């Protein structure tokens, strides 16, 4: 839900929070710069660690935990965390919290039920991620999963009538080409693979996950236009539906096995680490992304691909051949180009672009400044990177 909590305006960033793009060039304080670099580190680590930890737990010998139970537990923990944050916002007053939840969830039930659709898709997406990572190397998944940028862009054009710059269209073409090269390398046998892994199933799962991520993120943004609900309230509502739908999916897919072996069968400290990462990682990013401009987010995604690849070599014996290097390089470049503000394509000085951020626009002399509403919904200020509008629902 990054767009809710990380927009260009101070209102979108939350009371008392100034987004990176809200500062005038040259006025960024040293403290704010430190926060930006901390945000970069958090985004990189969260993007890479979730993929690597899931891959690690799904390839360990011995009893394998049920992925559907991990999805449910992540939703439960996320919902409880949001409930505690709302409780803190009400200064620990239980009566005020209950009255607020009654009004926001039950009285305004139409708004609540609107979130059932993205919640269903996010729950499906989280389960598909486990399937994909169980059948693809972590580095290959990380590269291929960047297709979510393409799907989100396409759905934004179709559903929100947004326009993309030529540079963004070129970057999407490079993105698709890079992913295709990586998958060709994978299909051609890029190194030995365990017998219980099926790259075809993994590719189908990651493509379906990207499609669901793109649609759910754009749909979520569309229904939240004009909504006054806080980030934590919306995530609590999503968590309620996510838990119920996750339990339904668990019963349908693995109900008999879970009933026989137990809900927490196969859980180890590493598995709990995955659950906690999935539950709190998105919420953490929702906070730090307020201090990260679009260029920084694109850079973080690129760095996470590099980090996943290096870690995969060390942890899983992943082999990087020229085809993978070429495809991954194209994807990294495409992600970075896509995140650039439109002005950067027309020779805006790099220093000015970095200082002003993607939410600051150069206004030609003699022309009145555009209305504030013109900045909202502009693809240059709201790029389709990573999934935080797209979700706080699991990456």
How large a percentage of the chain has pLDDT more than 70?
72
* C-alpha span between 152 and 140 (Å, rounded): 20
Confidence of residue 312 (pLDDT cuts 50, 70, 90): confident
Residue 295 has what pLDDT? 65
Q: Phi and psi (nearest 5°) for 101?
A: -65, -35
Residue 347 has what pLDDT? 43
Average confidence (pLDDT) over 338-359: 50
Question: 230: which residues sit within 8 A by CB, 6+ positions away?
Answer: 86, 89
How large a percentage of the chain has pLDDT more than 90?
19
Angle of CA points 144, 393, 40, to nearest 5°: 65
Segment of 60-69, 209-218, 261-270, 313-322 carrying the highest mean pLDDT: 261-270
Confidence of residue 71 (pLDDT cuts 50, 70, 90): very high
Confidence of residue 191 (pLDDT cuts 50, 70, 90): low
Confidence of residue 292 (pLDDT cuts 50, 70, 90): low
Contact in structure between 193 and 199 (CB atoms under 8 Å): yes
pTM of model > 0.85: no
Average confidence (pLDDT) over 165-188: 85
Question: 339: which residues sit within 8 A by CB, 6+ positions away?
Answer: 294, 295, 297, 298, 299, 301, 358, 383, 385
Query: Is the model's pLDDT at 377 over the cut of 60?
Result: no
pLDDT in tens, 256-276: 999 999 999 999 999 999 999
Angle of CA points 191, 195, 197, to nearest 5°: 80
Query: Is the model's pLDDT at 320 over the cut of 50?
Result: yes
Residue 35 has what pLDDT? 76
Contact in structure between 66 and 267 (CB atoms under 8 Å): no
Average confidence (pLDDT) over 175-198: 74
Average confidence (pLDDT) over 343-352: 45
Query: Is the model's pLDDT at 193 over the cut of 60?
Result: no
Q: What is the chain's mean pLDDT, rounded?
A: 76
């Amino acid at each position: 839900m990054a767009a809710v909590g990380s927009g260009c305006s101070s209102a979108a960033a939350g009371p008392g929070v100034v987004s990176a793009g809200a500062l005038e060039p040259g006025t960024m304080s040293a403290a704010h710069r430190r926060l930006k670099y901390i945000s970069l580190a958090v985004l990189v680590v969260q993007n890479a660690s979730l993929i690597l930890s899931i891959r690690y737990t799904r390839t360990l010998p011995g009893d394998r935990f049920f992925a559907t139970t991990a999805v449910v537990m992540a939703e439960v923990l996320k919902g409880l965390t949001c409930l505690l944050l709302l409780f803190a916002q009400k200064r620990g007053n239980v009566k005020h919290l209950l009255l607020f939840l009654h009004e926001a969830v039950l009285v305004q039930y139409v708004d609540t039920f609107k979130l059932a659709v993205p919640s269903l898709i996010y729950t499906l997406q989280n389960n598909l991620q486990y399937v994909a990572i169980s059948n693809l190397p972590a580095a290959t998944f990380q590269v291929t999963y960047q297709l979510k940028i393409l799907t989100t862009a396409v759905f934004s054009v179709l559903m929100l009538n947004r326009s993309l710059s030529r540079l963004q269209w070129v970057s999407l073409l490079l993105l698709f080409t890079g992913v295709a090269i990586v998958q060709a390398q994978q299909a051609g046998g890029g190194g030995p693979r365990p017998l219980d892994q099926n790259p075809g199933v993994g590719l189908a799962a990651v493509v379906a996950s990207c499609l669901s991520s793109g649609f759910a993120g754009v749909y979520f943004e569309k229904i939240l236009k004009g909504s006054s609900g806080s980030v934590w309230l919306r995530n609590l509502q999503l968590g309620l539906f996510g838990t119920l739908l996750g339990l339904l999916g668990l019963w349908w897919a693995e109900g008999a096995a879970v009933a026989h072996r137990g809900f927490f069968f196969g859980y180890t400290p590493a598995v709990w680490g995955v659950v906690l990462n999935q539950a709190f990682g998105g919420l953490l990013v929702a906070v730090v992304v307020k201090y990260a401009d679009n260029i920084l987010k694109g850079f973080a995604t690129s760095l996470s691909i590099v980090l996943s690849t290096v870690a995969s070599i060390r942890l899983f014996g992943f082999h990087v051949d020229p085809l993978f290097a070429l495809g991954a390089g194209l994807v990294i470049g495409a992600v970075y180009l896509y995140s650039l503000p439109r002005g950067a394509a027309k020779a805006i000085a790099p220093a000015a672009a970095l200082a002003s951020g993607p939410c600051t626009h150069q206004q030609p002399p003699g022309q009145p400044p555009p209305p504030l509403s013109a900045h909202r919904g502009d693809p240059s200020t709201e790029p389709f990177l990573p999934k935080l509008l797209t979700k706080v629902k699991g990456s």
